Amino acid sequence: MFSDGQLIFAIIFVIAFVAVMIFAYRKDLKWHKRYYKGSIWVLIGFIAFMGILLLLKYIMKH
């Protein structure tokens, strides 16, 4: 499906991309803690909303 060169490129690209993202996140960690302090509640609310929608879909189907 893919040539050897394409697979090698994809593997190197993924490793480099993840390394750069980890480096960037660690560099900005103090800013994340300051500006995104309550964002966990948004995530919890979104997951709860999606769960309620899936539950309603399940209930309506049966």
The conformation of residue 2, written as its DSSP 8-state character, comes to -
Distance (Å, whole) CA 5 – CA 54: 43
Strand residue runs (E) in 1-62: none
What pLDDT, on a 0 to 100 scale, did the predictor assign at position 37? 85
E strand or H helix at 10: helix 4-27
The conformation of residue 3, written as its DSSP 8-state character, comes to -
pLDDT tens-digit profile of 4-24? 999 999 999 999 999 999 999
Every domain of the chain and the residues it spans: 4-61
What pLDDT, on a 0 to 100 scale, did the predictor assign at position 51? 97
The conformation of residue 6, written as its DSSP 8-state character, comes to H
